[in-house]
Each structure stands twice: as structure tokens, then as C-alpha cells.
Amino acid sequence: MSKDWFSKSLAGMLLGCVLSLLFSGLFAWLTPGGPGAPNKFQTTMWVTAPVWAAIMSFVFFFRSGAQAWRWLGGATVLAAAALAACRQFLS
């Protein structure tokens, strides 16, 4: 077992949660109808859990905990920028 499993797990839990919520927001904005489409909120809510579970599963493929933090942190920043751009330009 890897010696830095705790760091990888923490990165997956914390950054994975934020990243899955950002992906949920991107899903809401980028699918037809935008976030205001009727009954879309339920689907948007339920897409969060599988994305988070996938991130938590794949986080152990990183060679180190630091690498997991860097990659997930970078992906989180990019997803936040993409969501901000969607909210700015698609509203």
C-alpha cells in the first residue's frame, strides 16, 4: 500500500467534492435549456455523486499525494473559471 494514501484520500475528498459540484454547475449551464430548464435541478443534483465517486476512485492512480493535490487543484481552478465564463457569457 502507498505511504501517502491519506494525502490522496484527502485530496479526493476535499478537491473532489468541489470539483464535482463545479461539474454539476457546468452540466446545468451547458446542457439544453440552461440552469432554468424545468425539472433540470434534480438531474443536476444527482450527477454530483457519481462524479465525486469517480474522482475518489481515480485519485489513487496518482504517484504521490502532492501530484494528486496539484492535478485536482488545477482541474478545480479550470472548472471554476469555466463555470464563471458560462455564467458571464451564457446568461
CA distance 75 to 77: 5
pLDDT at 72 over 70: yes
pLDDT at 47 over 90: yes
- Summarised one tens digit per residue, pLDDT across range 75-91 is 999 999 999 999 999 87
CA atoms within 13 A on the CB side of 80: 11
pLDDT at 31 over 70: yes
- What count of other Cβ atoms lies within 10 Å of the Cβ of residue 72? 22
pLDDT mean over 52-56: 97
The whole-number pLDDT of residue 1 equals 62
Inter-axis angle of helices 65-89 and 5-30, nearest 10:
10
Q: What is the mean pLDDT of the chain?
A: 94
